[in-house]
A and B are shown apart, each in its own frame.
Chain A
Amino acid sequence: MLAFITELLAAPAVGTALLIGSLVAVTSGVVGVFVVVRGQSFAGHALGDIGTTGAAAAYLGGVPALYGFIGVGVLGGLAIERLGERARERDIATGIVLSFLLGVGSLLLYFMTQRISATGGPVAILFGSIFTVDPAVTLPVALFSLLALLLLGFLYRPLVFASVHPQAARARGVPLQGVGILFMLALAIAVEESALVAGALLSTALLIGPAAAAVRWTRHIGQAAAVAALLGLVTVWLGIALAYQSYFWSGAHRGWPVSFFIVMLVLLEYLLARIGPAKRASRSDAPREAA
């Protein structure tokens, strides 16, 4: 076991994957708790998908992919927040923004396949792999993580209030709209950086899974955030270790994708949380999911 761990850490690609995966897992876990309590799972997922469009645009424009992800993510997030101001329209507005931006993305990806003979580029953008991440993005990803977490720290009290008791918060003069927009900004940053390094698929899994389990296991949002961050970390580490190990499973020496392991672990956590007794950080007055 110990030998396996030292061997794992010795591989350079694994070291980078562990470091970046940890950053993403912690940020997604903490932000995810608020996503779950506020019932914004659809928006959280949509932002991950939308990043694809930004990445394709950045690729065609010759800009680093990170800025494409973050730029389009922030724009899309603001559009979702603005068009879905009324609760009744939120679900549909998210759907339409996602649909339109995915359509533009499919056009850009098509241009990419026309420009380069191999289809490797679009596939890398769509499915992303944490093992192929360029170590140079570690620093910007760390900075954006910090930015998202600082934003959340700054918003913490009004955000908890607005998320758990929206009516009371409005009555007390908490600017719900401003809180919503700033939170969407933090959400967009968190989701886009994880979509960049781990693919749109894993970004949603790490955002919703650990958080949904943590919310069921704890009584307070702060505790839930800590548990979600920890769960996310464990999930990513286990997933990477299993994916690394899977290389030796079949004779063909083709490793199973890390995203598969992480998603299955996330699903397992969630199902365990569903079976076990629920404490619910959000209590019964949490807003309902619209979807």
Chain B
Amino acid sequence: MGILETLFPPGLFSASFMQNAWIAGTAVAVLSACVGFFVVLRGASFAAHAVPRASFAGAAGAVLAGGDTLVGLAIFSVLSSLGIAALSSRRDQGQTTALVLMAALGLGSLFLTLGGAYAPEVYALLFGQIVGISQGDVLGILALLLLTLLGTALLYRPLLWTSVAPDVAEARGVPRRRMEILFLLLLALAATAAVPVVGALLSFSLMVGPAAAAAYFGRSPGRSLAIAVLIGVFSIWFSLIFAYDTGLPVGFFVAAVTAVFYGLGRLWAWLWEIERGLQRAA
């Protein structure tokens, strides 16, 4: 058996659950990279970590109430986003993010306890499960992709301004507070889509990793965004192939591959600094 057949065994593309995983995974990678671009610009990794993680409580609540988990995820990611926005002042967003996350997780642990035994469905939501993505999930995720792309297109310029030069933006009449809320709602959309695929613990890997790496490679914001999307899509494809081959959790591969890209970005920036130092010396 050749290496190609080992890497691409039968069923990787044809099995119906894998077809769902390919479509949903690619959509999630694209929308995560778009939102992640703003996450990196704003230095909002903590919020990007907290919102998907908090939405896990919504899934636990949905299981307890017998509702749809995607709806539970959506409700809790929006609620936690709004909670962070409402409580945070400009100087202490970290504290409020931590406390909102803790409140959601406290509720989550209550829901889990009241729901009795740990539902395997909820457990899969923590770590992501490519086998479990249904046709309905795919449609929901594609709808979220459309919404996120629309949001990114509409908010691109004002968000870029408020993130890069907040004072200039405010002087130009871009409402900082409203942009903050819109950004967090965009984050909630991405979290809702990403958690069923990559899991609540590692959804933020797809947001932060590709965009953080791209920030080192791209010379302009637009190019950084494009590179982030490319890295994100490559990461999820790589992860899907290896998760299928090895049976290991997909989140592990996503976290590892995106961390490698970030390392390459840091290396690239470091080499540039040396190069510039040499030029200056010469």
Contact = CB atoms under 8 A, between A and B. Distances in A.
Do A and B interact? yes
Interface of A: 36, 39-42, 44-46, 83, 88, 91-92, 94-96, 98-100, 102-107, 109-110, 119, 123, 126-127, 201, 204-205, 208-209, 212, 254-257, 259-260, 262-264, 266-267, 270, 274, 286, 288-291
Contacts of B112: 127
Main secondary structure of the interface of B (DSSP, over half): helix
16 contacts: A46-B49, A92-B43, A99-B204, A102-B251, A103-B253, A106-B202, A109-B127, A110-B252, A119-B123, A123-B118, A263-B103, A266-B99, A286-B91, A290-B94, A291-B44, A291-B46
Contact of B105 (A42, A92, A107, A201): A201
Interface string B253-278: 11110110010001000000000000
A103 B254 contact: yes
Given A92-B208, A92-B212, 19 more contacts: A41-B97, A42-B46, A42-B97, A88-B43, A91-B43, A92-B43, A95-B45, A95-B208, A96-B209, A102-B202, A107-B248, A208-B95, A209-B99, A212-B99, A254-B113, A257-B106, A266-B99, A267-B103, A291-B47
B90 interface: yes
A77 B193 CA distance: 31
Nearest to B213: A96
B99 A267 contact: yes
A35 to B, nearest CB: 9
B101 interface: yes
Contacts of B204: 95, 99
A100 B259 contact: yes
Contacts of B116: 254
Contacts of A290: 43, 94
B92 interface: yes
B110 interface: yes
A289 B91 contact: yes
Of A99, A123, A286, A290, chain B has the most CB atoms within 10 Å of the CB of A99
A242 to B, nearest CB: 12
B101 A289 contact: no
A91 B102 contact: no
Contact of A92 (B45, B94, B103): B45
A106 B109 contact: no
B58 interface: no
A289 B102 contact: no
Given A100-B259, A270-B99, A127 B202 contact: no
A247 to B, nearest CB: 11
A257 B97 CA distance: 22
B146 interface: no
A95 B106 contact: no
B126 interface: yes
B7 interface: no
Contacts of A40: 94
A88 B91 CA distance: 15
Contacts of B47: 291
A106 B90 contact: no
B164 interface: no
B259 to A, nearest CB: 4
Contact of A201 (B102, B201, B249): B102
